[in-house]
Structure 1
């Protein structure tokens, strides 16, 4: 059984112009890091021209599809009937993207099948995490 789930999604960037540009993004979940979700954007989708990846909690994503959630660098909230807004806050500014809620729910269902909510602690590798924390010492 694979320990990683990757799912391409179409995100629509919200800009000051009335037309929203569609851009590819990839959601990633790894059961070795069971509390986290990663959302990656290719270099062509960023102002800096470099790949960008954001990490946030799986619980934040699940909550944010039904009600506004998050107070830090990543904030998520429902938008209308079928979309969810993800806001990414950085020093350079705020990026807002819309993603179809159905795509996010499918991704979370797949992650839930891999690591059920509440069982995340069973998939932690504390020895590896401590080694990483202390730089392999």
Structure 2
């Protein structure tokens, strides 16, 4: 049984209008998927009115604290002294949130305590993954 980290954060939603809305979000790390993190937004914070979770590389989040990172659906970059910007690109548009950098660092530190950088492969269950892949192929 693995330990899953769920770290609540306040994300400031950046909209085209001048006001900025603060929303609850959760950063999540599961050692059973050691290369990835999730950021989940509750239903009231989304256009669809349903909970939305984005999954992306843990390394992307870590790199984006110090320099722009990402070319795909999720991009991360530092913003000012104490903020990190996370952009989520979808066919419907782009959502951009600001998160306090210290909160992201705290979350990543907790994740690294469970699975140190460079040792993610040790936490993969390749036999189980292969079994699931072959089961789906039938």
TM (norm. structure 1) is 0.96
* Runs of 5+ unmatched residues, structure 1: none
Where do 4+ consecutive residues of structure 1 move more than 3 Å? none
* Residue number in structure 1 paired with 2:77: 77
* Runs of 5+ unmatched residues, structure 2: none
* Residue number in structure 1 paired with 2:34: 34
Aligned length: 137
* Residue number in structure 2 paired with 1:126: 126
Per-residue CA deviation, residues 53-83 of structure 1 (Å, 9 max, x unaligned), is 0000000000001000000000000000000
Written as runs of structure 1 = structure 2, the 5 A alignment for 1:43-82 is: 43-82=43-82
Per-residue CA deviation, residues 66-106 of structure 1 (Å, 9 max, x unaligned), is 00000000000000000000000001000000000000000
In the TM superposition, what is the alpha-carbon distance from 1:131 to its structure 2 partner?
2.3
CA-atom RMSD in angstroms: 1.2
Does structure 1 conserve the Cα–Cα contact (< 8 Å) formed by 2:4 and 2:30?
yes
* Residue number in structure 1 paired with 2:90: 90
